[in-house]
Amino acid sequence: MSDKEKGKKLEEQAKTEASKLLDVLNGPDFQRLREEHRFTLESLKKERGISITDCHKLQNFAKVLYEQGKYKDAEKILFSLKEILVNESQ
């Protein structure tokens, strides 16, 4: 198996593990959640069953993307993750 194939497999695995939060980020009501200030870990936990573990899985997916040189994709994910966690601390 080539390095490229290994990287693709690793990316797919990380994406599958992070799918719960990725579904929210890519979902039709993502913008509404942000506008209504419900894009917090607490709200996502109540409404979607999202936990801190899901945040770690999303962070890992971003790390895999970054290591493959997909910097813009990783940045977009990390920005959303930061938003969830910063909103939580307020």
pLDDT in tens, 13-36: 999 999 999 999 999 999 999 999
What is the length of the chain?
A: 90
Q: What is the pTM of this model?
A: 0.90
Reported as a single tens digit per residue, the pLDDT across 60-84 is 999 999 999 999 999 999 999 999 9
Measured CA to CA, the distance from residue 62 to residue 78 in angstroms comes to 7
Q: Is the pLDDT of residue 3 over 90?
A: no
- Inter-residue contact 62 to 17 (CB < 8 Å): no
For residue 66 the two structure tokens come to: 């970054």
Distance from chain centroid for Cα 72: 13
Domain boundaries in the chain? 17-89
Nearest to 4 by CA among 16, 12, 63: 12
